[in-house]
Structures are given as C-alpha cells and as structure tokens.
C-alpha cells in the first residue's frame, strides 16, 4: 500500500488525497504536523528534502514529492478517470487553470513564506492574513475568467479534472481565512458539485485522522 505523508490542513496534501480517492487507489496516511515543525526533523527531511508535504512513498519504496508531480504520476499509473483531457488544446487550458492555483496562489501563501513575512519582516498576524486573502482573490479572478462553460458542473465539463482538484483545495483556505467570495459564484458552484462526490468528501481536511 502507498503511504501519503500529509497534514490535514495542507491544500497540496488535499489535492493528492482527492486524486487517490477518485482513482480508487489504496493508501495509508501518516501525519506531518507542519505547525509543530515535524517537517524539519532529520528523518523527514531525508525523505523529502523540501521539508514540505505531501510525500508519497510507493509500494516499492520509491519516494515522490511535490503535489503536481504526484498528481501527474497518479494519472499515468491509473489513467481512469483521467485528470486531463486527451485533446491537446483542452489539456493546455485545464493545466493553465490548475497552474493559476498551484503556481500563482499557493507559492506566495505557503506557510514558509507567510512565516518569514511575520518573522523577518515584522508583519502582524492580520498582515499575514491580508496578504493571503489578496493573492487568493487575485488568483480566483484569473481562474474564473478562464472558464467558458457556465452550464457545466465543473470547470471544463461535467467531470472533475486536475484544475478542479486544485481549486477545491484552495477554496478550503479561502473559507478558512474569510476571503470575500461574493464575486466568485461560479467557483462556489463547482465546489458544491465536487462535494457531492465521495472522493472529495473523504479527502476534506476535517475528515482526516490528524484533524485538530
């Protein structure tokens, strides 16, 4: 069985849990408490030099890090249901939407970045929250503008794809930190559809064994 090193509130771990569930792959979860600094232990750093989550250890002992790389691996390992369309143009559009979350929002809102703002640059807790809310709002505006099929259940059709996985995980943080979602009705509709599926329900942070 695969082992997923995860933290319940980590949006990147949330992405991988959704994909594992969608594809019906069995895995064991092991908690890495990011707030307590468990990711910086010598043992875990030897497993994941980036000292973050998720880390996926395969049945043969191979180790994968970085959520987007793990998602790519899972899509190749278990092609159905596919996380990306076969058509090259449609594929590129889905990836662009996914990257809007994974590359524009998440990196600047990462725990390490916000922690440095507060520790090295004197930002208050309120400053840190305002920073995160700003970048989530900017990213959600860009994401929503990329969508064209307003009548579809998900971002680009009636099945969840890579971008939807990234979006739903990021929306968890948006709700947590009180982002004003009044202009993002389409994104909330996608989230509502996703939460009708067991794969998303079972992956949500509150359903994890280490949820605090």
> What are the tens digits of pLDDT across the range 123-149?
899 999 999 999 999 999 999 999 987
pLDDT value of residue 57: 98
Residue 21: which domain range?
2-81
Residues 106 and 127 grouped into a single domain: yes
Residues 33 and 123 grouped into a single domain: no
62 in the Ramachandran plot: left (φ > 0), alpha (ψ -120 to 50) or beta? beta
CATH of the domain at 46: 3.40.30.10
Percent of the chain scoring above 70 in pLDDT: 100
> What are the tens digits of pLDDT across the range 7-44?
999 999 999 999 999 999 999 999 999 999 999 999 99
Report CA dihedral (107, 172, 8, 13) to the nearest 10 degrees. Answer: -50
> What are the tens digits of pLDDT across the range 69-106?
999 999 999 999 999 999 999 999 999 999 999 999 99
| pTM, to two decimals | 0.96
Residues 58 and 92 grouped into a single domain: no
Distance CA 23, CA 84 (A): 13
pLDDT value of residue 63: 98
The number of domains in the chain is 2
Domain ends where: 42, 61, 81?
Answer: 81
Tokens of 52: 């973050």
- Range list of β-strands (E), 53-94: 55-57, 63-65
pLDDT value of residue 121: 84
Rg (CA), the chain: 17
pLDDT value of residue 112: 86
Q: Is 13 exposed, middle or buried (0-12, 13-18, 19+ CB in 10 A)?
A: buried
- The rounded Cα 9 to chain-centroid distance in angstroms is 10
Residue 163 above 80 pLDDT?
yes
Residues 95 and 186 grouped into a single domain: yes
Percent of the chain scoring above 90 in pLDDT: 93
> Is 211 inside a domain boundary?
no
CATH of the domain at 137: 1.20.1050.10
Distance CA 52, CA 143 (A): 25
> Is 110 inside a domain boundary?
yes
pLDDT band at 150; cut points 50, 70, 90: confident
Tokens of 25: 């792959």
Contact predicate 132/176, CB 8 Å: no
Residues 50 and 145 grouped into a single domain: no
Residues 92 and 187 grouped into a single domain: yes
Distance CA 186, CA 190 (A): 6
């Amino acid at each position: 069985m695969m082992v997923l090193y995860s933290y319940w509130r980590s949006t990147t771990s949330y992405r991988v849990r959704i994909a594992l569930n969608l594809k019906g792959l069995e895995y064991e979860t092991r908690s890495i408490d990011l707030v307590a600094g468990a990711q910086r232990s010598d043992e875990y750093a030897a497993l994941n030099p980036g000292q973050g989550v998720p880390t996926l250890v395969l049945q043969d002992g191979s180790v994968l890090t970085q959520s987007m790389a793990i998602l790519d691996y899972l899509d190749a390992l278990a092609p159905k249901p596919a996380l990306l369309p076969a058509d090259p143009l449609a594929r590129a559009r889905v990836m662009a939407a996914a990257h809007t979350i994974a590359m524009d929002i998440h990196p600047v809102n990462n725990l390490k970045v916000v922690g440095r703002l507060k520790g090295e640059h004197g930002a208050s807790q309120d400053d840190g929250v305002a920073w995160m809310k700003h970048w989530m709002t900017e990213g959600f505006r860009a994401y929503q503008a990329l969508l064209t099929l307003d009548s579809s259940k998900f971002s680009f059709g009636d099945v969840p794809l890579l971008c939807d996985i990234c979006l739903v995980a990021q929306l968890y943080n948006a709700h947590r930190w009180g982002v004003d979602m009044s202009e993002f009705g389409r994104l909330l509709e996608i989230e509502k559809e996703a939460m009708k599926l067991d794969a998303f329900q079972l992956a949500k942070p509150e359903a994890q064994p280490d949820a605090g």
